[in-house]
Amino acid sequence: MRGHLRDAPSQGRPRILDERGDREVVRLLNAPSNGTAAAVGREMRSQGLDLSDDTIRRCLRRQGLRARVKTKKPFLSKKHKARRYAWAKKCRHASWMDWSYVIFSDESKFNLFGSDGRQYCWRKRGEHLLDQHVQPTIKFGGGNIMVWGCMTWEGVGNLRLIEGNMDKFVYREILEMELMNTIHMHDLGEENVIFQHDNDPKHTSKYVTDWLLAQKFQLIWHPAQSPDLNPIEHLWNEVDRRMRMSEKKPTNKKDLWEKLQEIWYSIEIDTVRKLIMSMPERAADVYQAKGGYTRW
């Protein structure tokens, strides 16, 4: 080369694992007993392969995998999965128009100073903490409130503050007042309504069931441990998101209740309808997962 001797460009240290080895790492990662790079590393070292955890991580990244915080989902036993699968087989052919007759209901907790979980922010290394970088906590006071709500094809229904313990007597009184007022407010017609709630013991008590069976509307069975099959869960998330985006944060339970009502009754009908229209996809996903976890 023009009279000069030069070393050829270095290609770096040869890979320890070839493509076949990469596929074996991914296979082991998907085994029920593993799930982490460290667990896969232990498994492969037990087979006599001297591989570090960093080697396993590089392999997984080559395969397009990235470490993520685990998504929190309710525990699903074999019985739960079987019942979810039975629900999906029964409901998977229902169209969004069929679901438009359903009133979805649920209770939810809202906290002062945001949710119980982790919150994230963008901040430069070494930058001083600003208000938006902090998730405030207080030593005393604070607290949360519980609410009951429902959603219909015609928009949100009544929102009810739950004071004290929620038992079967309080729940039936909520149905007698808030559910029936919602049906009449939206002029849904009791005989056209299908009511959904989960199988919480107070929901399925004889005291509540007797009242429900005496009504003109129908009931829809909801499997346990299945918030992904109730679109109102995503509506609660939207309310919480709007709460956190609000410039003026509530400082006590009274303010929190007033702010919740303001946000709840401002939810657009299109937001509610998009969630209800997702039900066919939800049923299909549960069916495909044979009752297992879904993306919802």
pLDDT digits (tens, 9 = 90+) for 132-150: 555 554 444 458 999 999 9
Is 295 part of a structural domain of the chain? no
- Global pTM reads 0.75
Question: Do 136 and 261 fall into the same domain?
Answer: yes
Structure letter (DSSP) for residue 215: S
pLDDT at position 33, please? 66
CB 145: neighbour CB atoms within 10 A?
18
Q: Kindly state whether residue 3 falls inside one of the protein's structural domains.
A: no
Can you list the alpha helix ranges (DSSP code H) found in 104-231?
A: 168-174, 180-185, 206-213
- 97 and 228 in a single domain? The answer is yes
Which residues contact residue 178 at a Cβ distance below 8 angstroms, ignoring those fewer than 6 apart?
A: 148, 150, 157, 158, 159, 160
**Do 24 and 119 reside in the same domain of the chain?**
no
At 140 the pLDDT is: 41
**Within a domain: residue 30?**
yes
Q: What is residue 118's predicted lDDT score, i.e. its pLDDT?
A: 53
Domain containing 117 — which CATH number? 3.30.420.10
Is the same domain home to 149 and 252? Answer: yes
Cite the beta strand spans of the chain per DSSP E. 102-111, 144-152, 155-156, 160-162, 194-196, 218-220
Task: Report the percentage of the chain scoring pLDDT > 90.
Answer: 58
14 in a structural domain: no
104 and 206 in a single domain? The answer is yes
Query: 70-84, 123-137, 186-200: which range is least confident on average?
Result: 123-137
How many structural domains comprise the chain?
2
The answer to whether residue 67 is domain-embedded is no
Domain that holds residue 133: 78-288
pLDDT at position 37, please? 81
Among 11-15, 87-91, 221-225, top mean pLDDT goes to 87-91
pLDDT at residue 34 greater than cutoff 80: no
Average pLDDT along the chain = 86
Residue 238 lies in a domain: yes
Q: Assess if residue 149 is contained within a domain.
A: yes
Instruction: Please indicate, yes or no, whether residues 56 and 98 belong to a single structural domain of this protein.
Output: no
From the number of C-beta atoms within 10 Å of its C-beta (0-12, 13-18, 19+), residue 147 rates as buried
Q: Mean pLDDT over residues 159-176, rounded?
A: 96
Q: How far apart are the first and last CA of the chain?
A: 61
